[in-house]
Amino acid sequence: KAAGRGCFRYYEPEMNAHAQLRRLLQLDLQRALKANEFVLHYQPQVDLRTGGVTGFEALLRWHHPERGLITPERFIPLAEETRAIVPLGEWVLRQACAEASRWPGGQKVAVNLSPIQFAHGHLPSMVATALRLSGLAPARLELEITEMVLLSDTEATLAALHELQALGVSIALDDFGTGYASLGYLQRFPFDRVKIDRSFIRRLGHSRESDAIVRSVIELCAAINMATTAEGVETEEQCRILRAGGCTAAQGYLFGRPSATIDAAALQQS
Ligand code: C2E
Ligand code: MG
Ligand code: MG
Ligand code: MG
């Protein structure tokens, strides 16, 4: 009993401080959207056969006036809890489409979607509006979803994905290999592309298992007409192994970090 009480006293202030910080950030998200504190950084996506930059992934950043630059892993879960991710995600879509519509090289833009946007966002009409307002050709927009999107309400999700593809946008499965039941999803959902998670790419060339897994995923995807993107490519050796295995595209620090300004040369190519 005494120990229990001791634990209670020890943890309570800490939990409260943590909960308070979360609450502050949650309230602040709504203010920040109005105050224009969010920006998109762009990371190049490279075609491994030609070496050309074929697109950029939009990655959200929060320039907080007091806390500085906050990365998405810290605030997106909070925004999902309060559903602030719905208006925030809509801002991301519109901003990414508007910016991409001005890229002279006509590259694609990839936008990440949260599961909450599927459940509460009337997503297909939100996407159609972003395309219409920006004038971006639908074929230049790729939407990235994770397995988390597929876990709940399968029928509604499948219908939304079909509606999105009917608009002419493509769908990529992000972080492949980190969740469960992945193979079943490949059969059931109409992905255009599979992004192989960084955790597998990191070990390429140092683990025979990783080499074999990545090679098999690439072959499997090719056989069912899905393109593959390797995430988090940092070394020439990883790049060489991926190219030899037939991987179609790659993204990672080797080719460029996410950045607020895109290299003009990269924009002209393709
Ligand atoms: P993600 O979609 O899988 O994005 C890839 C993450 O890997 C990015 O982190 C990127 O900066 C990082 N990365 C890219 N190349 C390398 C590399 O070579 N090495 C290493 N170590 N890391 C690399 P970031 O920008 O912090 O984003 C983290 C996650 O936050 C994203 O993972 C995505 O799930 C989520 N996210 C970002 N922007 C948005 C958004 O607008 N909406 C939603 N719903 N989620 C977003
Ligand atoms: Mg992504
Ligand atoms: Mg990913
Ligand atoms: Mg991720």
CB of residue 44 inside a 6 A radius of ligand 1: no
Plot region of 232 (φ>0 → left; ψ -120 to 50 → alpha; else → beta): left
Q: Is the Cβ–Cβ distance between 141 and 172 less than 8 Å?
A: no
What are 203-235's pLDDT values in tens digits? 999 999 999 999 999 999 999 999 999 999 999
Better-scored residue on pLDDT, 157 or 9: 157
- Judge contact between 265 and 255, C-beta under 8 A: no
Report the pLDDT averaged over residues 145-154. Answer: 84
Give all strands (DSSP E) within the chain, no chain letters. 38-47, 53-64, 68-70, 108-112, 141-145, 170-176, 193-196, 227-230, 249-250
CA pair distance 40, 259, nearest whole angstrom: 8
- Amino acid 239: pLDDT: 97
Query: From the CA of 232, which ligand is nearest?
Result: 1
Residue 192: predicted pLDDT = 97
238 C-beta closer than 6 A to ligand 1: no
Q: Which of 61, 112, 127, 149 to mutate to test the pocket of ligand 1 (most atoms within 8 A of CB)?
A: 112
Asked if residue 199 has its Cβ within 6 Å of ligand 1, the reply is no
Q: Are the CB atoms for 186 and 224 separated by under 8 Å?
A: yes
Per the DSSP assignment, residues forming a β-bridge with 112 are 144
Task: Supply the residue whose CA is at minimum distance from atom 10 of ligand 1.
Answer: 258
Q: What is the mean pLDDT of the chain?
A: 90
- 270 has pLDDT over 70: no
- Contact yes or no for 130/93 (Cβ under 8 A): yes
Q: What is the pTM of this model?
A: 0.92
Using 50, 70 and 90 to split pLDDT, how confident is the model at 80?
A: very high
Protein residue with least CA distance to atom 13, ligand 1: 232
Is residue 11 within 6 Å of ligand 1 at its C-beta? no
Mean pLDDT of 41-63: 96
Closest CA to 144 of 205, 66, 244, 72: 72
Name the pLDDT band for 12 (thresholds 50, 70, 90).
low
Burial of 74 (0-12, 13-18, 19+ CB in 10 A): exposed
Q: Helices 85-100 and 123-134 meet at what angle, rounded to 10?
A: 30
Compute, in angstroms, the gap from residue 202 CA to the centroid of ligand 4. 14
Helix axes 236-245, 208-223, angle to 10 degrees: 40
